Chains A and B, each alone.
Chain A
């Protein structure tokens, strides 16, 4: 009996760790879509760029230098990639949303192939930094320290993003753009700059999530579509353009991914789909979705 409890405690903790990671990944996707109606299908590819960077810079052995270096490089690359994607989707502004999504899909294919050419087909492991690569006793069960730290980092980032979006002037501008882009433009704010900033920040979060997720997921071919799907499910469940929605969605999906797989290993995929279907039937725009972003 105690063994069963311990096993599920581990699953719940795993779910929290996955949820923290998913939040960091999904919030950028959600804001970019909510603000600019650009569905960035290259978001998963950005995550994998971060993962491979971690493998390249910190893959040799546990070292803080390599890990922090990877985080820094990933942040810079994320910012640049976000700016580039924003510039690339700009000429398609007047076309249908689908064209922008297709463009990012093409970019995702290119990035995934280039990574495969550079790093090969084999999955690469990323060790956790020294001091975090051991395990900690949680209510009598050994649990990887790194994942506990990941939960903490995710919580800090979630609070940070929440404060930024809900409590600052910049955040008010972001929320206003989500609610009514034309009105924000009419009062004299350059939409494009807000778009570039949010796109860059969202992409930064994606590459950083890739580095942070490295010790959990490693870096492998096909990881990009896996995490893209999870992030999409998170934003669909939470509601596009909502930070709170991304947080709740990420925590729910994290638990489904971990607890669901532990308790119902054969049905995990169906549970994921079932949760998605249930939310869409009850709340077609997601749990915290607004009506304004609905003109798809």
Chain B
């Protein structure tokens, strides 16, 4: 996660060309965030184990959605292959847990590193393009990595997935209870979310928003936009890798499906449903996706994804700015094609 904080160099805020004027926000300060974290931390004390597990899954998926929002909402790069870095981190964390140690910072750091490296290895091709081309390229890259997971039997376990991942260990104590596991995921999730939030507020983040709004102008001012996009891509891949290592700790099983097209589409759905660019919106979107799939899905004979597809279509028509758009009823700031 080091490259997250290395980036922001002396980039004065006022020269960033296409950045929209500061949003007219009601100033609530950090109070809502603290309330949310406290409520989330207290949740397992009141919830049944199954509900806690669902909430854990929700947090993992939410962190993945936040990392994707860094690309989609902040940088304006819609990725359909983001699940690949999530999966890469999950496989790496699982493999390390099995073969080396499940002691806590190790799988997390390895997952983050592998997610970031996978993003670095493939992203340099993707960031050369923009818009729908980027969508297509990331889709192709994601699918190639998914096929790799499917075929690299010796490491990934092939189609059966990587099973038998031991429980994450804090010191010498394995995290076996669902509550402890939940708190672990919550703690990592909150820290990672804060990192992404800081990154989005930093001069680096302002430059990314400038690229989103008007890349050619940013290039004209003298920014190496490709390099910035590459940086954002690697940062997003790293956070996705962190989310992946949490997935490995939670499911104790990683399958090729975790990095396939469907997962990638669902994360993008979560970001779109929640509202791209707001960072907290995608967490809400992730909650909708996980609840529909895991809570309503079984009632529909395991076809929750059908409902998600319908939600997807409705959101595109009815909520162009996602759930986050509902809070700020400003005049539309649509991007004209």
Contact = CB atoms under 8 A, between A and B. Distances in A.
B262 to A, nearest CB: 8
B151 A95 contact: no
Secondary structure dominating the interface of B? helix
A251 B164 CA distance: 43
Interface stretch (A113-121, A142-150, A196-204): A113-121
B61 to A, nearest CB: 17
A296 B133 contact: yes
B39 interface: no
B313 A232 contact: no
Interface in A80-120: 91-99, 101-103, 105-110, 112-114, 116-117
B132 A102 contact: no
A64 interface: no
Interface string A220-246: 001001101100110110000000000
Interface residues of A, number: 46
Nearest to B266: A109
Contacts of A225: 143, 260-262
A73 interface: no
Interface in B126-147: 128-133, 135-137, 139-141, 143-144, 147
B265 interface: yes
B308 A109 contact: yes
A264 B235 CA distance: 33
Contacts of A269: 144, 147-148, 151
A276 interface: yes
Nearest to B142: A229
B305 interface: yes
A57 interface: no
A272 interface: yes
B317 interface: yes
B154 to A, nearest CB: 11
A236 B309 contact: no
B2 interface: no
Contact of A106 (B130, B132, B310): B310
A228 B146 CA distance: 14
B27 interface: no
A94 B141 contact: no
A217 interface: no
Nearest to A96: B335
B11 interface: no
A102 B144 contact: no
A144 B335 CA distance: 52
A108 B143 CA distance: 16
A94 B337 contact: yes
B129 A280 contact: yes
Nearest to A38: B132
Interface in A132-182: none
A103 B316 contact: yes
Given A95-B320, A97-B131, A110-B309, A232 B334 contact: no
Interface in A262-296: 266, 269-270, 272-273, 276-277, 280-281, 284, 296
Contacts of B139: 228-229, 232
B167 interface: no
B141 A113 contact: no
Contacts of B133: 236, 296
A272 B122 CA distance: 13
A114 B335 CA distance: 33
B136 A94 contact: no
A296 B130 contact: yes
Contact of B144 (A98, A106, A272): A272
B31 to A, nearest CB: 34
Residue of A97, A101, A229 with most chain B CB atoms under a 10 A cut-off: A229
A101 B132 contact: yes
A233 B135 CA distance: 12
B272 A102 contact: yes
Contact of B305 (A33, A113, A281, A296): A113
A37 B337 contact: yes
Contact of A110 (B78, B130, B147, B310): B310
A103 to B, nearest CB: 5
A74 interface: no
A208 interface: no
Interface of A: 33, 37, 39, 91-99, 101-103, 105-110, 112-114, 116-117, 222, 225-226, 228-229, 232-233, 235-236, 266, 269-270, 272-273, 276-277, 280-281, 284, 296
13 contacts: A39-B136, A91-B317, A92-B317, A97-B337, A101-B78, A106-B312, A109-B265, A109-B305, A113-B303, A117-B303, A228-B261, A232-B136, A273-B144
